[in-house]
Structures are given as structure tokens and as C-alpha cells.
Amino acid sequence: MGQAYSGVCTNCGFKITKNIGVGFMFPTVYGEVRKRAWDGEYGEEMMYFLRKNPQRAIDAEIDLYVCEECGDISSDYNLGMYIPREEDEEMLKEADFSSDDTGNSNYFMHDELRRKFKKFKDYDHRCEKCHGRLKIVVGKGYDKLKCPRCKNKLIPGDIIMWD
């Protein structure tokens, strides 16, 4: 079940709603994101990371980000890169990590990534507006977000469940 972050600025009227998390289509989405990574759409580093060892995984959940430069708020796939923990490496060798069959390739949810894999590297997310570095927003960070227009505190809205 996915959620959505929503917020409003009581100073300038700015409103935002961004989907985060995963939905029921996650197995298909994971396969599609992995194929795009395999094909180099997220850069050469991630492409070579996956091609070097197909048992490696990426985090395809959607997270909320804020630009460290302009304060723009966006959501995108996490795209963190993970390598198998030694104790799970043999089991993962048996799995089908097909890059061609986007609907049936093995997928790993956020909590499963933490149990069976260790983080190799975070993806370098960049702002579409100013190309500044994006920082992930988690937990209590939602309550601290500022309006990208006037920099006043955003008032979080209701939690919206989707999918």
C-alpha cells in the first residue's frame, strides 16, 4: 500500500501532493525500473553495477526528496544499490534476475532489501529545476518541510493511502 505526502503553505497558498511507497503493481514496477537501470537509463555506474553481478538489487520504492539548493519537493524511485549479504548469496544465485521479462523478474521490497542485502551505494538524485542535490525526506522530516516558494513551514495534510 502506498501513501501520499500532502502539504500546504498558509502564507502563499502553495499546495503539494506526492505519492510515496509502493503499490500493488510493485513487482511489475520493480522489473521495469531494473530493466531501465540495466539499459543504462540511470547512468553507466548503475548499469555496470547490475551487469557485473545480476544478483545485485536496487531499491525501487518511491521516496520523497527535497532539493538542498532551491527547496523543491519531488518524489522518485530510491534507486539505492544493494549487494547480497554473504549468507543469502547462494540462495539468490538460484533466483531469476531476468532483465528482459519485466513482469516476472524477482523483486525486493524495502524491508527485504535490508534483511538480505547490504547497501553498496545511494543513487545521486538531482533536482529537475536547478540540478542541486536531492536529500531524502523520512520520518519526522515531513513535518519540517518548507514551502519551495516562500520558505515558510508547510503544514502537513492528511495521510492519503493509494492503490
Cβ atoms of 56 and 49 within 8 Å: the answer is yes
> What whole-number distance in Å separates Cα of residue 86 and Cα of residue 110?
19
pLDDT at position 125 over 60: yes
The conformational region for residue 53 under phi > 0 = left, psi -120 to 50 = alpha, else beta, is: beta
Q: Per residue in 19-48, pLDDT tens?
A: 998 888 888 899 999 999 999 999 999 999
Q: Per residue in 41-86, pLDDT tens?
A: 999 999 999 998 878 899 999 999 999 999 999 999 999 999 888 7
At residue 103, the pLDDT reads: 41
What pTM did the predictor assign?
A: 0.85
> What whole-number distance in Å separates Cα of residue 32 and Cα of residue 127?
22
At residue 68, the pLDDT reads: 97
